[in-house]
Structure 1
Amino acid sequence: MDSFVYQGGEMVAESVPLARIARDVGTPVYVYSLAALRANYQAFATSMRGLDAELHYAVKANSNLAVIRAFAAQGAGADIVSIGEMRRALAAGVAASNIVFSGVGKKEVELRQALEAGVRQINVESSAELDTLDAVAKSLGRVVDIAIRVNPDVDAKTHAKITTGRKGNKFGIDIDLARDAYAHAASKKNLRPIGVAMHIGSQILSLEPYRDSIRKLRGLVGELRTDGHDIQRLDLGGGYGIVYRDQSNERPFAVGDYMEMVREETAGLGCALSFEPGRSLVGNAGVLLGEVILVKPGTARTFVIIDAAMNDLIRPTLYEAWHDIVPSHEPAAGATLAATDIVGPICESGDYLAQNRPMPPLAAGDVVVVKSAGAYGAVMSSTYNTRPLVPEVLVDGDRYEVIRPRQSLDDLLAADRVPEWL
């Protein structure tokens, strides 16, 4: 669903004008729609009916407590990659028994804290991690259920920086080495390898990489069972793409089509399934608002300098990512478009949110809306150039609330310590 539309000439989040939020809370500011979060979750939940399956929200996409709570209230678990994310999930109301701990570099102290908390499953990504986890489990007198993340060597045909399922990626254990890894795990008295996991990348728009990967894992499950392993779970990860650019051929598959493919490819396998969506649940449920500081005409194009910058939304700089950007006030029909760079005030040439973008006329004080910013936006922000972290707002119908206050400069400076000898 699209909860951000023009009504009466103004873009609204559900029933709240975005310009009102910008005026009341200030800019830059992230705004999320609760209705969109719920609708995205329900699309998955409905499509999963009839499957022996669970959904664990990938917290890394957006780790605000209110966002996690919104999904937990619908029945979602959590997929985490750090103890910090575990603490967030627990604080938001996710039961430890509904948390899956993934990640390529878990420290011993993190594994210990996860086991002490009682997380459902550890997804192990190396033989060295197997050894560390076994030692921790032994010290706690536990036998731990684990899955091993297998790298199926499938090209997800996504951006190089967010593909994770090829042999050249740091994630998981190569599928050619998987049987040895499971034998190694089975030799440990405090580990019980009962699952196979994968995650092949992010912003994936085609079903075929998933189909190829599931077929490879299905074959592996058969081999592992022949080897004597009691494989009960299949963790299929996430990575489902969303629309970032409305006027393009970027059309992700429907979640219902994905689940139908999963039904076909896992029929008769006898494994409980786990899905770990992140971006597809929150991406299009959020926007970033910025205010135009000034317009700077150039000979080749116009620069519109806004108060939102690369430290607030790094995706365009880091991934060359596209986000649709529109004024909060609906442009007049037939408005003249000009090649425009939407840039921030950061002292970096890479500080841009859009380049050479056809835009209607903008002026100082106008509010612009950076769409599809609910995933990997606020969660990847920084305080570069001593710019405080921006607030986050959650809209529910005709009401809204600040779910993360704007960081003050005093708060930011208070985090530093100057030695007495200076």
Structure 2
Amino acid sequence: MAAVPEADDCGERTCVDGVDLEALARRLGTPLHVYSASRLRRRAAELRAALAGLDALVCYAVKANPNVAVLALMADEGFGADIVSAGELRRSLCAGIASSRIVFSGVGKTADEIAEALAAGIGRFNVESRDELDLLQRVARDRGQVAHASVRVNPDVDAGTHAKIATGKAENKFGVEPNEAWQWFAEHAHRPNVVLDGLHVHIGSQVLELAPFARAFERIAVLARDLLAAGHAIACIDAGGGLGVRYRESHDVPVDVGDYARTLRHALRGFGGRLIVEPGRWLVAEAGVLLTRVIRVKHGARRRFLVLDAAMNDLQRPSLYDAWHAIEPLHGRERERVVYDVVGPVCETGDTFARARELPRCEEGDLVMIETTGAYGASMASTYNSRPLAAEAMVERGRYAVVRRRQHFDEMLAGEQPAGDWQVA
């Protein structure tokens, strides 16, 4: 048996975590999402080191990448989970994350989801509206349980990110104003089955500057100090997530995690309760790549199109956000550089990964790597155009494991049937 490489990579662009990507693609086919366990563990270690000395719980934002193998790795690292649905709750529990280390966020929790989370014994609910708070009280009362909850406060801070992933401005749907939070604490006696003893803030995703974090943390810290001074219990402050990553070299400059932690420490100086952070993208994005093959090169009247077997249903970010992802042909040969529009086969003009991108010349069958796809890649995938979900693999020190097999056509059809059994509602 060959020795397992100790290094993350084997010195070649065609290698990730000691695994040759061309060989992996031949074995498992394309499109193929690949996650490096070593890179995931390194990020986890960096975050733990930055938070050392704090009573801090890291709750991984499951929506970034909900694959059970990724969640199990997070559990191994001692992390909890930040969930936004009953499905994410079930995935987290299945992966071995302790229910007491799970927080439930989101503006649209239903009564059934709340009941399921209470039955599982989750640690905390991040509450986003008065209606939800009242519903939590009713469900907990009916079950004879007591729920711990935090108010999600909207700090009206511009995160400086894409409008579709900004969550901390007054016009966004998330959280409530500080004045409303005060009212909830003042009314706590009316909700005996809810222990309201925490604050939560989250200003958005892919944040690349410290200043918005600092403003949000300072505002939540002031609110916490005022509530404590008024005699209210604040056992927990949840600082959310949002740390950005480098999608584009020399363009994206991510916040250093140590500087982020120092900003958090400074804002919450003197607070003696538990701190929760909810990173998602920062932990997993740069650990993932999407492997895809060239179907053909199409010469249009004005553009040259590089048509891949991956499409917008495998990676939505470029179509949804006009997001940049580095694209690297892995043919390993010196070729002249050519300008392409890099597209998929889906029947939408929006099925475009890059426009006017200069790449080494590609030919039919060449393997291409789309980088930084570990977050919001497979997690946002669909079967649009009746395309099966791509396979997912995890690699670590020269080994690989299939963590989601490629979907079969009959699995796409499961649950569908002709309209033959007509009934009256």
> Given the alignment of the two structures, is residue 148 of structure 1 paired with residue 151 of structure 2, yes or no?
yes
- Distance in 2, matches of 1:403 and 1:144, equals 34
2:99/2:123 contact within 8 Å kept: yes
Partner of 1:12: 15
Return the letter of the residue paired with 1:365: G
Change (3 A) 1:137 1:183: same
Partner of residue 298 from structure 1, selected from 300, 313, 316: 300
Partner of residue 114 from structure 1, selected from 114, 117, 121: 117
2:289/2:374 contact within 8 Å kept: yes
Return the letter of the residue paired with 2:316: I
Which ranges in structure 2 are unaligned for 5 or more consecutive residues?
A: 1-6
Return the letter of the residue paired with 2:381: S
- Distance in 1, matches of 2:88 and 2:236, equals 23
- Distance in 2, matches of 1:75 and 1:186, equals 35
> Given the alignment of the two structures, is residue 386 of structure 1 paired with residue 386 of structure 2, yes or no?
yes
1:186/1:193 contact within 8 Å kept: no
Partner of 1:284: 286
Partner of 2:351: 351
Shift of 1:412: 1.1
Partner of residue 330 from structure 2, selected from 325, 328, 331: 328
Return the letter of the residue paired with 1:329: H
- Distance in 1, matches of 2:197 and 2:414, equals 47
- Distance in 2, matches of 1:113 and 1:164, equals 26
Partner of 2:213: 210
Shift of 1:300: 3.1
Partner of 2:261: 259
Shift of 1:370: 0.3
> Given the alignment of the two structures, is residue 53 of structure 1 paired with residue 53 of structure 2, yes or no?
no
> Given the alignment of the two structures, is residue 175 of structure 1 paired with residue 207 of structure 2, yes or no?
no
2:9/2:18 contact within 8 Å kept: no
> Given the alignment of the two structures, is residue 135 of structure 1 paired with residue 129 of structure 2, yes or no?
no
Partner of 2:168: 165
- Distance in 2, matches of 1:421 and 1:178, equals 51
2:8/2:397 contact within 8 Å kept: no
Partner of residue 241 from structure 1, selected from 244, 247, 256: 244
TM-score calculated relative to the size of structure 2: 0.95
Change (3 A) 1:345 1:157: same
- Distance in 2, matches of 1:185 and 1:162, equals 32
- Distance in 2, matches of 1:112 and 1:174, equals 27
1:65-90 CA-to-partner distances (Å, cap 9, x unmatched) read: 00000110010111100010000000
- Distance in 2, matches of 1:221 and 1:187, equals 21
- Distance in 2, matches of 1:394 and 1:108, equals 36
1:1-32 CA-to-partner distances (Å, cap 9, x unmatched) read: x956752xx51111111111111100001000
Shift of 1:187: 2.7
Higher mean C-alpha displacement, 214-223 vs 199-208: 214-223
Instruction: Indicate the SS of the match to 2:116.
Output: helix
Change (3 A) 1:23 1:135: same
- Distance in 2, matches of 1:235 and 1:103, equals 14
- Distance in 1, matches of 2:188 and 2:19, equals 53
Shift of 1:417: 2.0
Return the letter of the residue paired with 1:67: V
Partner of 2:3: none
Higher mean C-alpha displacement, 405-414 vs 224-233: 224-233
Instruction: Indicate the SS of the match to 1:406.
Output: coil
Q: Percent identity?
A: 47
**What does residue range 83-122 of structure 1 map to in structure 2 within 5 Å?**
83-122=86-125
> Given the alignment of the two structures, is residue 361 of structure 1 paired with residue 364 of structure 2, yes or no?
no
TM-score calculated relative to the size of structure 1: 0.96
Partner of 2:409: 409
Instruction: Indicate the SS of the match to 2:262.
Output: helix
1:18-58 CA-to-partner distances (Å, cap 9, x unmatched) read: 11111110000100000001001111011111111110111
- Distance in 1, matches of 2:369 and 2:119, equals 43
Measured on the aligned residues, the alpha-carbon RMSD in Å equals 1.5
1:186/1:192 contact within 8 Å kept: no
Partner of residue 82 from structure 1, selected from 76, 80, 85: 85
Shift of 1:185: 4.0
Change (3 A) 1:197 1:421: closer
Shift of 1:331: 4.6
Partner of 2:42: 39
> Given the alignment of the two structures, is residue 370 of structure 1 paired with residue 370 of structure 2, yes or no?
yes
Aligned residues: 416
Shift of 1:352: 0.8
1:324-359 CA-to-partner distances (Å, cap 9, x unmatched) read: 000123352xx4322211100000000011111111
